[in-house]
Structures are given as structure tokens and as C-alpha cells.
Amino acid sequence: MTVMIEVERLSKQFRLHQQGEMILPVLTDINLSVHRSECVVLDGASGSGKSTLLRALYGNYLASSGAIWVTHQGARVDLCSAHSQLQLAIRRETIGYVSQFLRVIPRVATIDVVSQPLIDRGVAPEQARQKAGELLQQLHIAERLWTLPPGTFSGGEQQRVNIARGLIADYPILLLDEPTASLDRANAEVVVGLIDAARSRGSAIIGIFHDHLCRDAIADRLFTVKAQAQA
Ligand SMILES: Nc1ncnc2c1ncn2[C@@H]1O[C@H](COP(=O)(O)OP(=O)(O)OP(=O)(O)O)[C@@H](O)[C@H]1O
């Protein structure tokens, strides 16, 4: 089985500048490997560091120590020590991330927000927009909304736009931070189906799902992130 992402002795602590440079240790010596076509769900108490781990795996948080080995275009690359151009290439080609909240440039139409990851990879805009439309349709985003910027959409609509953007490019590695949190049951089931399809195509998936039905439907195994007091 091909290991797509391997976290090796990863630690993350925050330095709180406004609290007299206090050090807040959150992750200590995390080890985790995820294979092709495997979905690992992060488990652990609120505040234990699950989102922090996902953000570190995407490079949004710089690890304090350790390594994050990623299989990127056939090579094994440490995301922690990769130079910025390589990090950008890894994000474009290899790692997709669905954050809890949609962050987009104001005034960009929803269809363009969703198709952008494919255009960044060199796919023709019309082809990218067609795939974006298919995904938006599957996620029950009404067509009349596609030309509008998603900034004023409801929480659940924004989350579905975020998911469409995160899943459009068939990333080999997918990081999902509570993708079903604000969704009704029917939409949550569509999202679980899309994630399952991504896994069948070979994606290695690491996710946070507080909803037990979604978690049970998608998890191959759980990985517990221990709060520091318990570590
Ligand atoms: N940028 C930051 N600066 C300082 N502390 C942070 C930062 N990000 C996270 N933390 C702290 O790290 C700890 C873990 O937070 P995190 O959001 O990763 O937990 P979680 O397990 O995802 O929680 P929940 O299940 O409630 O979403 C918390 O104590 C949080 O305050």
C-alpha cells in the first residue's frame, strides 16, 4: 500500500506574544501514516489539537519540530522543510484542504471560486466551470446562485461551496475540517458520498467529523489526538 502522508514526531507549540511570550504546547510527538484510499478520522477532546494538526498538515501552521512526508508527484517530500514554491506546488497538485469556513476573495462568482483549483492546474476555464457546475448541482446549490459571490450565502451554502472547491481537483491527499458541520442530513449524505468517491479514486483522507453518523460512514480508523494534560 502506498503511504501518501506520513507524520513523524510532529510537535506544535504556540508562542503567545500578548501573554508575555507564554508557550502553549498543543501537539507533541505525533506519528501518523495514511495510505492511498484510506480515511482516518481525528478523534479527541475539544481543544486537543485536531484542527491544529490539519492546519499543520496543510502548511498553514509551521511545525515546531518533526516532519510531514508527503508523496508529491512520485517523490517523498518533507512539507516542513520544503521551500515556498514547492509548498505551493504541493497545494496545487497534491493536498486539498476544506477548512471550517469559506475564505474567498470578495466579488468573485461562486462558479469561479469552485473552478479555480482546476484552472490553476492548467485545465481550460470552460471545462473547469462545467465540472464546477456538476459539483454545485450535486451539492444542491441552486443555479441562480452560481454567478453570485458566496460571501452572503447561508452557512450551509458556504460550506457546500467550500466542499465543491476542495473536492474538484481530485487531490491525492484530502484534509477535511468538519465538512458536514452546518449541513442538514440530506446534504451531509451527499458530502459523505463525494468523500467516499474520492477515497475510491485513491485519495488518502484525514478528517474531523463530530457527527457520528458521518464519521461511522466514512472512517476506516480513528486517530486520537491527546490533549496535553493527558499526554
Ligand atoms: N493560532 C493559535 N494561537 C494560539 N493558540 C492556538 C492557535 N490555534 C489553536 N490554538 C490553541 O490550540 C489548542 C487546540 O485547538 P484546536 O482548534 O486545534 O482544537 P480542536 O481539537 O480542533 O478543538 P475542537 O474539537 O473544539 O474544534 C486550543 O487550546 C487553542 O486555543
Residue 133: count of CB within 10 angstroms of its CB: 17
77 ligand 1 Cβ < 6 A: no
Q: Which residue has the higher pLDDT, 147 or 103?
A: 147
Q: What are phi and psi of 84, to 5 degrees?
A: -60, -35
Distance of CA 212 to the CA centre of its chain: 19
Q: Assess contact for 34 and 202: CB atoms under 8 A.
A: no
Mean pLDDT of 207-212: 93
The shares of helix, strand and coil residues in the chain, as percent rounded to the nearest 5, are 40, 25, 35
26 ligand 1 Cβ < 6 A: yes
Residues 6+ apart with CB under 8 A from 114: 132, 135, 136, 161, 164, 165, 168
ipTM of predicted assembly, 2 dp: 0.96
Apex CA 70: angle with CA 66 and CA 207, to 5°? 90
Average pLDDT over all residues of the chain: 94
**Above 90 in pLDDT, residue 41?**
yes
52 ligand 1 Cβ < 6 A: yes
**Above 60 in pLDDT, residue 230?**
no
**Can you give the pLDDT at residue 229?**
58
> Helix 125-138 crosses helix 110-120 at what angle (to 10 degrees)?
130
Question: Given pLDDT bands bounded at 50, 70 and 90, which one contains residue 231?
Answer: very low
Q: Which atom of ligand 1 is nearest to the CA of 49?
A: 18
Query: How many whole angstroms separate alpha carbon 96 and alpha carbon 182?
Result: 20
**Above 80 in pLDDT, residue 152?**
yes
pTM here? Answer: 0.94
Q: How far is the CA of 57 from the centre of ligand 1 (A)?
A: 15
